[in-house]
C-alpha cells in the first residue's frame, strides 16, 4: 500500500510517499481503507519531534513509528480478534494510527459509524478537532445558555467547531481571529468578532464567563484579567513550530500552581477520543447543527504541502487529505 512515512524528525520536506506493507488489525482493532484524513497540529508536533519532551513517547532522536496521521474516515476492510462493534464494509470515522495512507488500523473504541448524510471528508475533519471543542466546552468550561464565551483562535480547526457548538448550547460567542475571517465567524454564529490585529481583548472593559484559548499567545495573568471573578479559563495548546515550549509551559504550570488559590477555574483539555462523542458530533453534522469548515483538500502525494500549510497557522477550519 502507499503511505506517507518519515524516518527522521524535521520539516515537511522529510515526508515521503512509499510503498509499504498493509498493517494487520490486532485485538480490538479495525483495519480501515482510508477515503479521507485530516491534518492537525498534532501531526507537525510529531513530525518535528517538538517540544523535545514529546520524544520520550515518539522516540528519542528519530521517530519510533514512521507513519503520520490520526484523523481518518473510510470503510472497514478487516477486523481483529475480539472486535464486535464493526464488520467489513461498514463506513466509519475516528482515529487510526498512521492515517496518511491507503490503509490504517484503529481501536474500535475510537471509531464510530459514519452517517449516510455525512461525507468522508466531513467525517475525517471531526475526530480530534471537534472532539476537543466538544469536551473543552461541555466538560471543562461547562458553559450555560446565556453566558458570555470568548474563543481565542476561533478560525482554526478546533475554533470553527467551538463557535458552532456553543451557538447550539445558547452561549453568546465572541470570536478572536484575523479580520479576513470575521465574516466566516459571524456566519458560524459568533455574535461579536475581535480582530486581534486591531484590538487586544485582554484590555477590553468586557469580562467573559469563560475563555477557550487555542493559541497560547497571552500570559496567564492577561487571560485572567479578561475573565469574570468566577470565570473559567480552558487552554488547549496553541502556537506554531516557532512557539517556545517555555511559553506554553508557563501557562500550563501557572494554572497548576495558582488554581487552588483563586476564585477563577483554570483548566485545560486534551481530547479523549471515544465512539459516543464521535457519534454525537456526526449526528450534529447530519442534522445541520454544525458544518465542518473545509479549507483545502490535497491528494496523498501532496501531504507535505498540507502539513506545511497547517503548520503556518493560517488555515480556516480543516485541511483534508483525500484518497478517493
The per-residue pLDDT for 246 is 46
Q: Scanning the structure block, which residue is given the C-alpha cell 474516515? A: 73
Q: Which of 93-97, 131-135, 212-216 has the lowest mean pLDDT?
A: 212-216
**Do 2-125+292-322 and 129-268 come out as alike in CATH topology?**
no
**What's the confidence (pLDDT) of residue 259?**
61
Task: Return the ∠ at Cα 205 (arms to 243 and 240), rounded to 5°.
Answer: 10
Domain ranges in the chain are 2-125+292-322, 129-268
Total Cβ atoms within 10 A of residue 267: 16
pLDDT band at 116 (very low <50, low <70, confident <90, very high): very high
**186 φ, ψ (degrees, to nearest 5):** -65, -35
State how beta strands 318-322 and 29-38 pair: antiparallel
Considering the entire predicted model, what is its pTM? Answer: 0.93
User: What is the band of 252 on the pLDDT scale with cuts at 50, 70, 90?
Assistant: low
CATH class in words for 2-125+292-322 = alpha beta
In the predicted model, is pLDDT for residue 111 greater than 70? yes
pLDDT digits (tens, 9 = 90+) for 141-193: 999 999 999 999 999 999 999 999 999 999 999 999 999 999 999 999 999 99
Q: How are strands ordered across the β-sheet holding 192-195? A: 192-195, 172-177, 148-152, 208-213, 227-235, 265-268
Residue pair 268/140 in contact (Cβ under 8 Å)? The answer is yes
Would you state the CATH architecture of domain 129-268?
3-Layer(aba) Sandwich (3.40)
Amino acid at each position: 500500500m502507499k503511505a506517507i512515512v518519515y524516518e527522521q524528525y524535521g520539516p515537511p520536506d522529510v515526508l515521503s510517499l512509499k510503498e509499504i506493507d498493509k498493517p494487520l488489525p490486532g485485538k480490538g482493532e479495525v483495519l480501515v481503507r482510508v477515503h479521507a484524513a485530516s491534518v492537525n497540529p498534532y501531526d507537525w508536533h510529531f513530525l518535528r519531534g517538538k517540544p523535545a519532551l514529546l520524544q520520550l513517547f515518539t522516540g528519542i532522536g528519530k521517530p519510533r513509528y514512521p507513519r503520520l496521521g490520526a484523523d481518518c474516515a473510510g470503510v472497514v476492510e478487516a477486523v481483529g480478534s475480539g472486535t464486535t462493534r464493526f464488520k467489513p464494509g461498514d463506513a466509519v470515522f475516528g482515529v487510526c494510527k498512521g492515517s496518511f495512507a491507503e490503509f490504517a488500523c484503529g481501536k474500535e473504541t475510537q471509531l464510530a459509524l459514519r452517517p449516510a448524510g455525512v461525507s468522508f471528508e466531513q467525517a475525517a475533519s471531526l475526530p480530534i478537532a471537534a472532539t476537543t471543542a466538544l469536551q473543552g466546552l461541555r466538560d471543562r468550561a461547562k458553559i450555560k445558555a446565556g453566558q458570555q464565551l470568548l474563543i481565542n483562535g476561533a478560525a482554526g480547526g478546533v475554533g470553527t467547531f467551538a463557535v458552532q457548538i456553543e451557538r447550539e448550547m445558547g452561549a453568546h460567542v465572541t470570536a478572536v481571529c484575523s479580520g479576513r475571517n470575521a465574516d466566516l465567524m459571524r456566519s458560524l454564529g459568533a455574535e461579536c468578532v475581535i480582530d486581534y490585529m486591531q484590538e487586544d481583548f485582554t484590555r477590553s472593559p468586557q469580562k467573559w464567563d469563560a475563555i477557550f484559548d487555542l493559541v497560547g499567545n497571552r500570559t496567564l495573568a492577561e487571560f485572567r484579567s479578561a475573565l469574570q471573578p468566577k470565570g473559567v479559563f480552558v487552554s488547549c495548546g496553541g502556537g506554531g513550530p516557532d512557539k517556545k515550549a517555555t511559553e506554553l509551559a508557563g501557562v500550563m504550570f501557572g494554572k497548576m500552581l495558582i488554581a487552588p488559590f483563586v476564585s477563577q477555574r483554570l483548566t485545560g483539555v486534551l481530547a479523549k477520543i471515544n465512539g459516543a462523542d464521535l457519534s454525537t458530533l456526526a449526528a450534529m453534522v447530519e442534522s445541520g447543527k454544525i458544518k465542518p469548515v473545509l479549507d483545502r483538500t490535497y491528494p496523498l502525494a501532496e501531504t507535505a504541502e498540507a502539513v506545511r500549510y497547517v503548520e503556518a497557522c493560517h488555515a480556516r477550519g480543516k485541511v483534508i487529505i483525500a484518497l478517493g
